[in-house]
Homo-oligomer: A and B are copies of this chain.
């Protein structure tokens, strides 16, 4: 339960004041008057017209219903008089001296929604829309966007609600005025953006009609906090993290298995062409390199310092690096913020040292950097245990070193080329937004993937990502979903704005494609790298075994994608040209277990030539004896149509060999239908993103795709 009075008196934005602000922003509210006594009450009810509502207004009561401070449906003078006396008693019982009473027009019934705004600790002002009353919480029917929102954002918000069905007309409900809701969302967005002191705002309920809307109950929380301006990403010196001319490995060791050894080894044997210096005061030589006792001793400029020494020595050593002109540092060592209060202090000193000399820092407590082009490599995983991928178009930014290893290893094995790879750990200085900005301007990077646990400056990340996504896809996996953030917040909106809900909305609003797990993240990247973007969301399916298509159809529906319905001529041609055993039902072309590669060729060619098909998913049971291996040549040839082709095949050694041969010829092949559909989803999403944010698409397509 919410406590009724946990805010200081002055911080509640009372109904009357809230109404005044609403009027300024043309938010429709019911006609009302504040009254001093029963006489005035009767008088104002007569002016307003029955039925009316009477309620207590006081800066010391936020949840009026909880103290029985609202009287609805007053139809007569007699009932008003009763209500008045009852409210006076409530005020007395609750000991409220500053209570006023408000008489307002009882709004006719309609559909109730809840509109609000709150201030998220990571993202700042956010706008909320949910089902009315307690339903938003009970059914978790609520959605968020970062303010200020666009009309398209508002439309998306509405279409995300379960309640949206009612707006379109559902059973005895609706239709209701969608535009009125979107207008209100835009107005609330402007209101909280222009009035920074309004920390939280609840319009609950807002009653929606077939035409128009009315915010019958409005209240808010004021704050004296000053919201800081969103930071701009800072790319200064970041290129030295990827392409330094020289590197000092501070804490280099000669003992295999030790991290100081493995990092130095990675720097030396994985193709990095810059100059590498080992630093360790207690050694003369490691791995055949002269060992310097300090960074100052190195007779060369040093662009990048990599730290694998005890945390207590790092701030001072970093300072000395700064003095020497080191541009950037990667602190692999742990023992900082992740270790609690004492570690936090150490991390603060580390950052202070770095800032004093403008040294940019990745880490601490991270794996560091792998660069596919310069071959810089600070990973302490030996290459016989974890592969290093070739150079290529994918950048990966990860808060978890472990998932970094996974992705790097998969990329190496499956031939996905990497441009820049950063495991940033505690994110003491360089953050995701700084790296994103660098990648945005990096001609070597075409697709960006991220693994995020928590946000540092969420708004900075959002602003940066939003500029990038129309041009380069960003795919992200967000972990830590179940921790509900501001549970103790006073307003409904605050309570509902669990950190993951807001984060999820922010990712979507920024045009970032969200993956559900690490496998899906990689799957989506693979499709984005290998295949062109589709022109639409209509998917055709070809198979030689029905089961996976059934599962794929379920998943296509769940993700809001569409099955393509080929043109009648295409269907006729398919029936004419394919053998009798093939089953052509419309959405799915089932070539059956008797299928040959020739059948695939005919079906793929016809479907890809059809304007009603935007994406082709091709399923293979490679084990089926009739399917000859010419299939390997035929499928990639179909890329001539310029439409994306996504493959799906499962099984053991033979199936994997066939799949990976297809992959090396440019066709991504996934092991389950769900994975193939998720990859397709990423292509469709990115296509919509690039068209919408480039202004080629007014955004209405979004109404139907979640």
Query: Quick one: given A650-B518, A654-B385, are A547 and B173 in contact (CB under 8 Å)?
Result: no
- A288 interface residue per 8 A CB criterion: no
Q: Please tell me if the beta carbons of A399 and B547 are within 8 angstroms of each other in the complex.
A: yes
Q: A338-B583, A386-B651 are in contact. Are A481 and B554 (CB under 8 A)?
A: yes
In the bound complex, how far is the Cα of B65 from the Cα of A672, in angstroms? 48
B405, A623: Cβ atoms closer than 8 Å: yes
Decide yes or no: A551 and B517 within 8 Å by CB, A380-B593, A384-B654, A652-B409 being known contacts.
yes
Complex Cα gap A138–B166 (Å) = 8
A interface residues, tally (CB under 8 Å):
93
CB distance from A83 to the nearest CB of B (A): 17
| Cβ–Cβ contact A403 & B554, under 8 A | no
A401 and B548 alpha carbons, distance in the complex (Å): 10
- Asked if A135 contacts B135 (CB within 8 A), the reply is yes
Which residues in chain A, 478-529, are within 8 Å of chain B measured between CB atoms? 479-482, 516-519
**CB proximity of A272 to chain B, nearest CB, Å:** 18
Contact A651 B171, CB 8 Å, known A402-B546, A403-B547, A482-B554: no
Is A121 in contact with chain B by the CB < 8 A criterion? no
A338 surroundings in chain B (CB, below 8 A):
583
Cβ of A402: which chain B residues have Cβ within 8 Å of it?
Answer: 543-548, 619, 621
B-contacting residues, A98-119, CB 8 Å: none
List, in ascending order, chain B residues with CB within 8 A of A258's CB. Answer: 625-626
Decide: B626 and A548 in contact? CB cutoff 8 A.
no
| Min C-beta distance of A286 to chain B, whole Å | 15
A517's partner among B403, B410, B553, B674 (CB-CB below 8 A) is B674
Query: What is the distance, in angstroms, from A309's C-beta to the closest C-beta of chain B?
Result: 14
Query: Which chain B residues border A626 with CB–CB below 8 Å?
Result: 257-259
A77 at the interface (CB under 8 A from B): no
Those of A56-78 within 8 Å (CB) of chain B: 65-66
Q: Which of A334, A480, A518, A553 has the most CB of B within 10 A?
A: A518
Query: What are 17 inter-chain pairs, A to B, with CB distance below 8 A?
Result: A131-B139, A134-B173, A140-B162, A257-B626, A258-B625, A380-B625, A381-B621, A381-B625, A385-B623, A385-B625, A385-B654, A386-B623, A401-B593, A409-B623, A410-B650, A479-B554, A482-B554
Q: A134-B170, A386-B623, A409-B655 known; 16 other A-B pairs, CB under 8 Å?
A: A66-B172, A134-B166, A138-B173, A259-B594, A259-B626, A334-B592, A380-B593, A381-B621, A387-B653, A400-B547, A401-B593, A405-B651, A409-B654, A453-B547, A479-B551, A482-B557
A-B pairs with the 7 shortest C-beta distances? A400-B547, A402-B545, A386-B623, A381-B623, A409-B651, A409-B652, A413-B652
